[in-house]
Structure 1
Amino acid sequence: MESIEEISESLKLLSDKTRLTILALLKHKDMCVCDIVEILKTTQPNVSQHLKKLKTGGIINETRRSQWIYYSLNVEDKLILKQIIDQLPSMQEQINNSNTTVCT
């Protein structure tokens, strides 16, 4: 079970709209930075900063696949965060309407 301090820090990370949107995207599939940049219509440095904070907070994992790093959710053992992320609106339409093969 997470401590109050750990939960508090995680909730601070979720208080940002961009980070919440990234988590909503990652609940559908693993993504690389360029996929997220394409969907959010923002810059790569901006997305990378948010991903770094989420990774440092233990909310996402990164996995190298050839030259790309893919990000995935890491909340299976964090019940409160998992419940919050499960309640986020679906981003499937945005994923479907984007060119999420930019990184390949």
Structure 2
Amino acid sequence: MAEALLKHHGKGKYQVFSAGSDPSGIDPRTLSAIEHFGLPTANLTSKSVEQFAGEHFDFVITLCNKAAAECEGRVSGTNCLAWDFVGPKSRKEANPFEKTLQELNERIKTFVLQLEQATPNTISPTRFYKSLADDIRLKTLLIVAVEHEVCVCELLVALAEESQPKVSRHLAQLKKAGILSDRKHQQWVFYSLNPTLPVWMKQVITSTVVNEPNFIEQELARLNAMGDRPTRTAKCCE
């Protein structure tokens, strides 16, 4: 589904491949949902990630937490994005494959739009370092680096901040600087590192997490006390 959608929205600008950690063929209901959406299925095949061993991609996107864990270290990418979608076979509602495809479609449209609007490597080192000069912004970036994606309510808990406008103001500054990207789900906004952020800037952020873990130890403890990500997300989006 994701391969067909990204090829469609990318309009030939990107090479797109899909694979599974334990492929067992394409479910006919998947092909039916894609065809019903109006996209071709003739060249879609079931492939294993092992087929791409040794290759390097600009983006590696996993579509559930299980796949993120199983594919870690098996596929190489400059930007590794972990999305978490409920698989259609696990859904208990009507038309589960069509609904999963619609959710993927919305996320992929946002992803492509971010790529088209992004201006990689235009963030000056001075602006980048100034963005790290405030504890809230720095801790936010480190939390995002660890969690991959967080919403405002999670940051309020993690940072022990009572003022949502204050946290949102800092997030807006990081987004304006081009360091964070966001996506909207219902009335909530979720933030992640901008996938087009220069590699050296990402390395500065991740190196800070690795070399000074105590700096956000309490923040991560408060965040983890909220439960696992699906539970936290459900609470945020109620």
TM class by smaller structure: 0.7 to 0.9
Residue 86, structure 1, aligned to residue 214, structure 2: no
Moved more, 48-57 or 68-77: 68-77
**CA distance 1:25–1:83, change in 2 (3 Å):** same
Structure 1 gaps of 5+ residues are none
Report the Cα offset of residue 34 of structure 1: 1.1
| Residues 61-100 of structure 1 mapped to structure 2, 5 A cutoff | 61-74=181-194, 76-87=196-207, 88=209, 89=213, 92-98=220-226, 100=232
* Residues 1:77 and 1:54: Cα distance change in structure 2 (over 3 Å): closer
1:53 Cα deviation (Å)?
0.5
Gaps of 5+ in 2: 1-119
Alpha-carbon displacement from aligned partner over 1:76-95 (angstroms, at most 9, x marks no partner)? 54122111111223654342
Q: Which moved more, 1:88-97 or 1:47-56?
A: 88-97
- Offset at 1:65? 1.2
State the distance in 2 between where 1:50 and 1:18 align. 7
Cα distance in 1 for partners of 2:125, 2:152 equals 26
Q: CA RMSD in A?
A: 2.2
Aligned partner of 1:60 in structure 2 is: 180
Question: Among 154, 164, 167, which residue is 1:47 paired with?
Answer: 167
1:30 aligned partner, one-letter code: E
With the length of structure 2 as denominator, give the TM-score of the two structures.
0.39
Deviation of 1:36 after TM superposition, in Å, equals 0.3
Q: What count of residue pairs does the alignment treat as equivalent?
A: 103
Preserved contact between residue 179 and residue 197 of structure 2 (Cα < 8 Å): no
Q: What is the rounded CA distance, in whole Å, between the counterparts of 1:69 and 1:21 in structure 2? A: 18
The normalised TM-score by structure 1 is 0.83
Shift of residue 38, structure 1, vs aligned partner = 1.1
- Counterpart check, 1:103 vs 2:223: no
Higher relative contact order (CA 8 A, sep 6+): 1
* Letter of the structure 2 residue corresponding to residue 46 of structure 1: K
**Structure 1: distance between partners of 2:127 and 2:197:** 16
Deviations 1:52-104 (A, max 9, x none): 11000000001011221111111554122111111223654342124644412
Separation in 2 of the partners of 1:65 and 1:32? Answer: 10
Q: 1 CA distance for matches of 2:223 and 2:148?
A: 9
The separation in 1 between residues aligned to 2:128 and 2:197, in whole angstroms, is 13
Which sits farther off after the overlay, 71-80 or 40-49?
71-80
1:15 aligned to 2:133?
yes
Shift of 1:39: 1.1
Which protein is bigger by CA-based radius of gyration?
A: 2
Q: How does 1:22-41 map to 2 (within 5 A)?
A: 22-27=140-145, 28-41=147-160
Q: Distance in 2 between matches of 1:75 and 1:14?
A: 18
Kindly indicate whether the alpha-carbon contact (under 8 Å) linking 2:157 and 2:222 is maintained by their aligned counterparts in 1.
Answer: no
